[in-house]
A and B are shown apart, each in its own frame.
Chain A
Amino acid sequence: MGISILDVSKRFGSYPAVKNVELEIPTGDFVALLGPSGSGKTTLLRLIAGLEGTDSGKILFNGVDYTNKTVKDRKVGFVFQHYALFRHMTIFENIAFGLKVRPRKFRPSKSEIKEKVFNLLKLVQLEQLADRYPSQLSGGQRQRIALARALAVEPEVLLLDEPFGALDAKVRQELRHWLREIHQKLNITTVFVTHDQEEALEMADTIVVMNKGMVEQIGSPEEVYQHPVNAFVYSFLGRVNELKGSTLSESTDRITDLADGTVGYIRPHEILLNKFQQGDSLPVEVSHVHTVGAVVRIEFKPLDTEEFYGAEMDIEKYKELGSVKKGNILYAEFKNIVVFGKETETPHVLTDTNRLSAAIH
């Protein structure tokens, strides 16, 4: 089912949780609502589900106005952040609940319910747990049961609120992969909320970046990562260095008339470190070196400043560079400084100094 969100707003008291959101979700899409806490992403999800009412704007399902329909009429599957499994029911009863509460006319027979529940348990690979209670399950298992329960009513839209937020890193990784698989198998329109950019980049077909109740950018993972429309999206989608004042003008050499307060952004892996001066590279002092798996992170500060920056390189590059210790002097080259103008303007990627000067003027 396709979902259209037209100019939707929602306030809690005087706090605007969602402001004039426009969003088009085509049938079968896998969408991540990505943003920091308080960005309105969960509220938007609950508005789609009907768990909150809109203050203004419209929500259409397949072109039909569903703004004032009840939760029940919307037939969405909703997976809560803390699973909200019914604690006094077994896993079987939990999954069967949505079928058992149907009016008698539409209620499947007992044997049909049983068959369906076990099919779903098979789908989530937890057949052996049918008679357990939720309190006897691990977090990852509960999450999968919550999903099976939501799928039991055959929803046309699946909504997940921070689905992996409460799980440890390894289980999270497994479940991401598994949820993707289920989406491919069932091809059901899926919207999930996350504050984890990696999760969004890894799983979603479409990412909706939200901030302060508004949509900042909508696009594929490549689009939002490679072509962020503004500083917020750029900095939210990965590690970032901010270049200000003298460091910015020095690292971009011939530019002398940068407006005050202009901020340049650069990702850690786009900073090149050398032991010898090359072109317009900047002398810097190493303050910290640490290895995280196959990646080496080097923290440094340009000489005569107290601003710290981080560079990242894979371990091969690091070996080429040779051993680096705290206090060493290196030369940093800033390859891809990005400067954002006013919010509506497109960003300028400053790759070489000639183009840079053109961009600033």
Chain B
Amino acid sequence: MIGKETTIIHFNVSSAKKASRHGAIKKWLLIAIALAFLGLFIVVPLLAVFSEALSKGMELYVAALTEPEALSAIKLTLLTAAIAVPINTIFGVIAAWGIAKFDFKGKNILITLIDIPFAVSPVIAGLVFVLLFGSQGVLGAFLEAYNLKIIFAVPGIVLATIFVTFPFVVRELLPIMQDQGTEEEQAAITLGANGWQTFFRITLPNIKWGLLYGVILCNARAMGEFGAVSVVSGHIRGLTNTIPLHVEILYNEYNFTAAFAVASLLALLALITLVLKSIVEYKSQKH
């Protein structure tokens, strides 16, 4: 009897082993396919950017980044992000708060409106601003009368960037806030907290990781936006060129090394963003 039992157990163990070996093969096959795809379409191009940028030596690389036009493009990109990201963060939080915590008519329409910058091609977004503020545009005559320049100037670039990057923060916060509901805020109010105290002590700490995540994505897009900015910028060297536009100009002039050198800045930004994003994700999971 004992012998019989042991054989049965043996049989079960070996069949379980077989099943798990089978599972392991499937698992590694799937991972290998995913990695191969990732390598081919993402890692190789990324490496190509850096190798091309450094192909003529470090000196030329540094020179390409420090020439005045490149510096001015970097400055303008940083300025644009420095304006667009805080504005979108503030309005994003307000919009998400309003939508998640209150009930009102037209809520779904508002959510759809917020998604428009994602749905519309960035080129069209840029064109909208040209039609509005350009010299032939609706407000063109008015702006000219007061000598205000928006299109082919820095304000246009900032406006287009704000438009294109608007949904990032809202979209990130909305599900978190809807999920958390309003009970904690109500509890804070019954304990005597005012609106600001409730927001800064209860709401904000509960959404901080989601908010940071949204801000990082928003910043990455603000710095990397090409289409919309290209339409409103006018490509004036040293004045209205952002990093992506500068890369395009250099590339069109067959100045490949310089183009890739500047492009490597954007690639680097992307990498930093990814690292920050992973850290934020890791931290938010821990909470």
In chain B, positions 179-198 with a C-beta closer than 8 Å to chain A are: 183-184, 186-194, 197
Asked if residues A71 and B190 are in contact (CB atoms below 8 Å), the reply is: yes
**A75 — nearest CB in chain B belongs to which residue?**
B192
- Whether a CB of chain A sits under 8 angstroms from the CB of B3 is no
Tell me if A150 is interfacial: C-beta within 8 Å of chain B.
Answer: yes
Please, which residues of chain B bring their CB within 8 A of the CB of A75? Answer: 192
Complex CA gap A76/B183 in Å reads 16
Task: Please tell me which one of the listed residues B190, B205, B206, B287 contacts residue A150 in the complex, with CB atoms under 8 A apart.
Answer: B190
Q: Which of A89-143 contact B (CB under 8 A)?
A: 97-98, 101-102
Contact B205 A71 (CB under 8 A): no
User: Which single member of B184, B192, B205, B206 contacts A101 (CB below 8 Å)?
Assistant: B192
Interface residues on A, range: 20 to 34
Chain B nearest CB from A157 CB (Å) reads 11
Shortest distance between the CB of A248 and any CB in chain B (Å): 48
- Comparing A54-62, A80-88, A193-201, the segment that makes contact with chain B is A80-88
Closest to B189 in A: A71
B184–A72 touching, CB < 8 Å: no
Given the known inter-chain contacts A101-B197, A101-B201, please indicate yes or no for A86 contacting B184, CB distance below 8 A. Answer: yes
Q: Which A residues are CB-close (under 8 A) to B194? A: 72, 101
Q: Are A78 and B187 in contact (CB under 8 A)?
A: yes
B202 contacts the other chain (CB 8 A): yes
A77–B183 Cα distance when bound, in Å, is 14
Q: Do B202 and A86 have beta carbons less than 8 Å apart?
A: yes
- A133 to chain B: closest residue by CB: B287
A18-58 interface bits toward B, Cβ cutoff 8 Å, 1 = contact, 0 = none: 00000000000000000000000000000001010000000
A255 close to B (CB within 8 Å): no
* Bound: A86/B184 CA distance, A: 6
Whether A149 sits at the interface, judged by CB under 8 Å, is yes
Is A153 at the interface (CB under 8 A from chain B)?
Answer: yes
A51–B190 touching, CB < 8 Å: yes
Q: Which residues of A lie under 8 Å from residue B184 when comparing CB positions?
A: 84-87
Give the residues in chain A near B186, CB-CB below 8 Å.
Answer: 51, 78, 80, 84
The answer for the CA separation of A40 and B217 in the assembled complex, in Å, is 45
Taking A86-B202, A87-B206, A88-B287 as contacts, is the C-beta distance between A80 and B193 under 8 angstroms? Answer: no
Q: Are B193 and A88 in contact (CB under 8 A)?
A: no
Question: Which residue on chain A has the smallest CB distance to residue B287?
Answer: A88
Among A72, A82, A98, A101, the residue within 8 A (CB) of B183 is: A82
Decide: B190 and A102 in contact? CB cutoff 8 A: no
Contact between chains at B190 and A101 (CB < 8 Å): no
CB of B284 to closest CB in A, whole Å: 12
Q: Find out whether the CB atom of A72 lies under 8 angstroms from the CB atom of B202.
A: no
- A86 touching B190, Cβ below 8 Å: no
Q: What is the total of A-B residue contacts with beta carbons within 8 Å?
A: 57
Contact with A along B198-219 (1 / 0, CB 8 A): 0001100110000000000000
Bound state CA distance, A152 and B184, in angstroms? 16
Q: B206 and A80: CB pair below 8 A?
A: no
Q: How far is the CA of A84 from the CA of B187 in the complex (A)?
A: 7
CA of A150 to CA of B189, assembled, Å: 11
Please state if B205 and A72 are interface contacts (CB–CB under 8 Å): no
Chain B nearest CB, measured from A96 CB (Å):
10
> Do A78 and B190 contact each other (CB < 8 Å), given the known contacts A84-B184, A101-B201?
yes
A274 to chain B, nearest CB (A): 55
Q: State the Cβ distance, A43 to closest chain B Cβ, in Å.
A: 14
**A97 to B202 Cα, complex, angstroms:** 10
Contact of A153 with B191 in the complex, beta carbons under 8 Å? yes
Once the chains bind, are B183 and A153 in contact (CB under 8 Å)? no
A191 CB, min distance to chain B CBs, angstroms: 14
Mark B129-165 against chain A: 1 for CB-CB distance below 8 A, else 0.
0000000000000000000000000000000000000
The interface residues of chain A lying within 8 Å CB-to-CB of B183 are 80, 82, 84
Interface centre among A77, A82, A88, A150 (most CB of B within 10 A): A88
Expressed in whole angstroms, the minimum distance between the Cβ of A190 and any Cβ of chain B is 15
Q: A88-B205, A101-B197 are in contact. Are A80 and B192 (CB under 8 A)?
A: no
**Closest beta carbon of chain B to A99's beta carbon, Å:** 9
Bound Cα distance from A324 to B191, whole angstroms: 58
Of B183, B184, B191, B202, most A-chain CB atoms within 10 Å: B191
The smallest beta-carbon distance between A319 and chain B, in angstroms, is 49
* Distance from B173 Cβ to chain A, minimum over Cβ atoms (Å): 16
Q: How far is the CB of B41 from chain A (nearest CB, A)?
A: 40
- Bound Cα distance from A283 to B287, whole angstroms: 66
Which of B193, B205, B206, B287 touches A97 (beta carbons < 8 Å)?
B193
Can you pick out 12 interface pairs between chain A and chain B where the beta carbons lie within 8 Å of each other? A51-B189, A72-B192, A84-B186, A97-B201, A98-B192, A101-B188, A101-B193, A101-B197, A149-B187, A150-B190, A150-B191, A152-B191
- Name B's A-contacting residues (CB within 8 A): 183-184, 186-194, 197, 201-202, 205-206, 287
Extra contacts, 20 of them, besides A98-B192, A98-B193 (Cβ < 8 A), are A51-B190, A72-B192, A72-B193, A72-B194, A80-B187, A82-B183, A84-B183, A84-B187, A86-B184, A86-B187, A86-B202, A87-B206, A97-B191, A98-B191, A101-B191, A101-B193, A101-B201, A149-B187, A150-B190, A153-B191
* Chain A residues within CB distance 8 Å of chain B: 49, 51, 71-72, 75-78, 80, 82, 84-88, 97-98, 101-102, 149-150, 152-153
9 closest Cβ pairs, A-B complex:
A98-B191, A84-B183, A84-B187, A78-B190, A101-B193, A88-B205, A101-B197, A71-B189, A84-B184
